[in-house]
Amino acid sequence: MEEALRHVLADTTAMIVAHRPSTVALADRVALLEAGRVTAVGTHSELLKTSRHYRHVISSLEAEEAARTGAIPIIRDAQQVEDEVREGLAMDAADEDPITEKEVQR
Query: What is the CB neighbour count within 10 angstroms for residue 96?
Result: 4
Query: What is the CB neighbour count within 10 angstroms for residue 54?
Result: 23
Confidence of residue 77 (pLDDT cuts 50, 70, 90): low
- Taking CA atoms, 80 is separated from 15, 70, 104, in Å, by 34, 24, 32
- Tens digits of per-residue pLDDT, 44-67? 889 989 998 998 888 888 878 777
pTM score of the predicted model: 0.55
- Tens digits of per-residue pLDDT, 13-39? 777 787 788 888 888 889 998 888 999
Q: What is the C-alpha to C-alpha distance for residues 62 and 56, in angstroms, rounded to an integer?
A: 10
Residue 43 in contact with residue 49, Cβ under 8 Å?
A: no
Residue 72 pLDDT: 61
Q: What is the DSSP string of 9-54?
A: TTT---------HHHHTT-SSEEEEETTEEEEEE-HHHHHHH-HHH
- Tens digits of per-residue pLDDT, 84-103? 667 766 766 666 555 555 55
Residue 75 pLDDT: 56
